[in-house]
Amino acid sequence: MNDTSWIDAAGAAMWALVERYTGHVSYKRGAKASGLHEDPPVIDCSGWTGLLLSAGMAAANREAGRLLFTDADAAAVHTWSDRLIENLERRSGSILSGDQITAAELPPYATIGLQQGGGAWATNHPRPRGITHVVQVVHRPGDQDRYVSEAQAMSQPNGLRLTPLSEWIERSHNYLKPDVAWAVAPFTR
């Protein structure tokens, strides 16, 4: 085992979830991982990202044969989008903002938080940076092409979707501005 095989294991675990659920799960605000057991299955953006990240952390620990990510690290990603970004920034010690979010600058498996409004529900508690949406960068095993996996209700298709990273950046350019978007490295130790 090389010293970085754990990051590949984390990525493979996230990709397995992406393959299993993309296109088969609808968006429902407030639905977390348990929503995948509903009929029909549902989840929201932070529930999906938290599930991907915690699965990646568990796989990294198994591959490394030691504790790289604690139960507290995994619990810190099972929260709302704004807190998820804040918790990952605190652990990693760094964050990218706005126009720094490019394909060239993003760390591996970046988690990206965006201000996308949301109406009255978004005022239910103080939201650091006003983040109301979160997405997860995943890598396809084999060729390592990067994609954005997200649960989205504001555009079609509604629900879990997968978009090539370059296309997602192009489509999201109005949000990739300072004080509107932030990216963190979730697997920094």
- Lookup: tokens for 81: 């989008």
Mean pLDDT across the chain: 91
pLDDT at position 143 is: 93
Q: What pLDDT band is residue 158 in, cutting at 50, 70 and 90?
A: confident
Where do runs of H (alpha helix) occur along the chain?
Answer: 5-21, 45-64, 71-75, 81-92, 165-171
Report the distance separating Cα 167 and Cα 154, nearest Å.
17
Distance CA 161, CA 152 (A): 8
What is the per-residue pLDDT across 97-114, written as a single tens digit (0 to 9) for each? 999 999 999 999 999 999
Residue 118 pLDDT class (50, 70, 90 cuts): low
Percent of the chain with pLDDT over 90: 78
> Tokens in use for 111?
């988690």
Tell me the residue type at 93.
G
Distance CA(62)–CA(183), nearest Å, equals 26
Question: Which pLDDT does position 154 carry in this prediction?
Answer: 75
Q: pTM for the whole thing?
A: 0.93
Q: For residues 121 and 147, which has the higher predicted lDDT (pLDDT)?
A: 147
* Collapsed DSSP state (helix, strand, coil) of residue 169: helix
pLDDT of residue 125: 57
pLDDT for the residue numbered 172: 92
Compute how many other C-beta atoms are within 10 angstroms of the C-beta atom of residue 163.
Answer: 17
What does the alpha-carbon distance between residue 106 and residue 117 come to, in Å, rounded to a whole number?
A: 24
Mean pLDDT calculated for residue range 10-17: 98
Hey, is 150 helix, strand or coil? strand
Q: In Å, what is the CA distance from 108 to each residue of 63, 128, 136, 146, 147?
A: 18, 24, 10, 9, 11
What pLDDT does residue 157 have? 72
Q: How far is CA 94 from CA 22, 40, 166, 167, in A?
A: 30, 38, 23, 25
pLDDT at 138 over 70: yes
Q: Which residue has the tokens 């903002």?
A: 97
pLDDT at position 1, please? 42
Neighbours of 58 (CB within 10 A): 15
- Per-residue pLDDT of 17-44, as tens digits, reads 999 999 999 999 999 999 999 999 999 9
pLDDT of the residue at 156: 72
The helix/strand/coil state of 96 is strand
